[in-house]
Homo-oligomer: A and B are copies of this chain.
Amino acid sequence: MDIIKELEEAKKMDASFENILGSMCTMPHKIAIKAYEMFIETNLGDYELFKGTKWIEDKAIKWVAKFMHAPPSYAGLLTSGGTESNITALWIFKKLGKKREVLVPKQAHFSFMKASSILDLKLNVVDSKYFMKGKDVRKKISGKTACVVAIAGNTPFGYIDEIEEIAEICNDENVFLHVDAAFGGFIAPFVSKKIFDFRAKISSLCIDAHKMGMACIPCGFLLLRNKEWIEEIKVKSRCTHTKFQAGLLGTRPGASAASAYAVMNYLGYKGYEKIAKECMENTEYLAILLDKNGIDYFDYELNLIAIRSNKAVDVAKKLADMKWFVGIDEENKIIRIVLMPHVRKDIIDKFVTDLRKVI
C-alpha cells in the first residue's frame, strides 16, 4: 500500500527519542500501546455505550486519586493532558468564585496564558525566582484573587513551589489553589519529600499520564477536592446516550483510559518508583559529567537539568545540527535536559561529548 510507504517516509523525518532530550514526553510503555490498540474505537464522550471502558476509566481515576491522596469527597476527570486540565480547573474556579484574577508563578506553563485568553481571566504573575514561595503569594493575594496556581515540577527548572505553605495561605484567605503537577506528579512522590498533593490544603491538581506516567498521548487527569464543584461545568446532552457531560471536550478516546490504567496496573507504585529512581540516577549521572567538563548548571530537584548558557539559542541550534534536541529558555538563559525514561546513560555520554564542542 502506497500510503504506508508514504507514512514510513514521513516517519523518517521525525526526531528519534534517542535524540530528544528536552521533551516531557517519552516512548509510551509497551503495555500502554497494547491497551491503546485494544480500545482504539471506543468513545468516552458517550460512555453509556462503552460501560466497560468507563469502568476502566473509573479505575484509572481512582488509582490517581489514591496516588495523590485525594479525600473521599474528590472528583476526577480524565483529560487530554495538562492544558485541558489547567483550563478546566480555572473554568470551574471562575464559575465558583465569580472573580477574575489568577496568581501564577513566573514559571507557569503557557497553558495558563491560553486559559486567561479563553476565560477572560487576568493573570497576576508572581515574580518568583526559580520557584514560588509562600511569602511571594502572601504579598500578592487579595480579595480579587479567584485562584492561585502552584507548580510541582516547573518547566524551566523542574522545581516544586512551596505548595504546603501556599496551601495554608490560600486556605486562610479562602482562595482556591490549583496545583499543576503535569510533569512532577509521576516522579516527585518517589524522589522528593515535599508535599504537593491533597495532603496539603490544595483545591485541585493536574497530573499527566502521558509524561512520566508512560501512557499514550492524549492522557492527563484533573482531580478536584470537592465533587460538587463539577456541577459548575455540567452540560446537558440530548444527542448522546449519556445525559450529562462535564469536561471541556466531547468525543474522546477510551483508549487513553485503557492505556493509562494498563501501565498503572502493570507497573504499580513500585514499578513507577523504580523508573523514577532510574531517571534520577541518570540525572545525577549527567550532573557529574557536566561537573567533570566544567559546564555550569542549576541545582536539580527532579529529573530535569537546566544548563546555564548565555547563548542558549545559539548552542541549541548547534546541537540541533548534531541532531540533539534540547529545551531552550532564552529568558532564563538555559538549555533544558529532561531525563525522561528514554534518556539512558549511553545517550548522555554521547550528548555530553557533543555538548562540550559547542558550549
Contacts from A to B (Cβ < 8 Å) = 1-4, 6-15, 17, 20, 22-25, 27-28, 31, 33-43, 45-46, 48-53, 55-56, 80-84, 87, 91, 95, 109-111, 113-114, 117-120, 155-156, 208, 210, 216-218, 233, 235-241, 245, 248-253, 255, 258, 261-262, 265-266, 325, 327-331, 336
Contact = CB atoms under 8 A, between A and B. Distances in A.
Contacts of A13: 51-52, 55
Contacts of A4: 34-35, 38
A1 to B, nearest CB: 7
Given A117-B235, A258-B7, A210 B111 contact: no
Interface-central residue, A9, A83, A233, A328, by most chain B CB under 10 Å? A83
B23 A46 contact: yes
A40 to B, nearest CB: 6
Given A33-B40, A40-B33, A251-B210, A238 B331 contact: yes
Given A51-B14, A262-B7, A91 B110 contact: no
Contacts of A50: 14-15
Contact of A325 (B49, B236, B327): B49
A49 B23 contact: yes
Given A7-B35, A82-B251, A251-B82, A42 B55 contact: no
Given A11-B39, A81-B249, A239 B329 contact: yes
A252 B95 contact: no
B28 A3 contact: no
Nearest first, the 6 A-B pairs at minimum CB distance are: A13-B52, A83-B250, A10-B52, A155-B239, A14-B52, A3-B265
A307 B40 CA distance: 31
A56 B248 contact: no
Contacts of A109: 239, 250
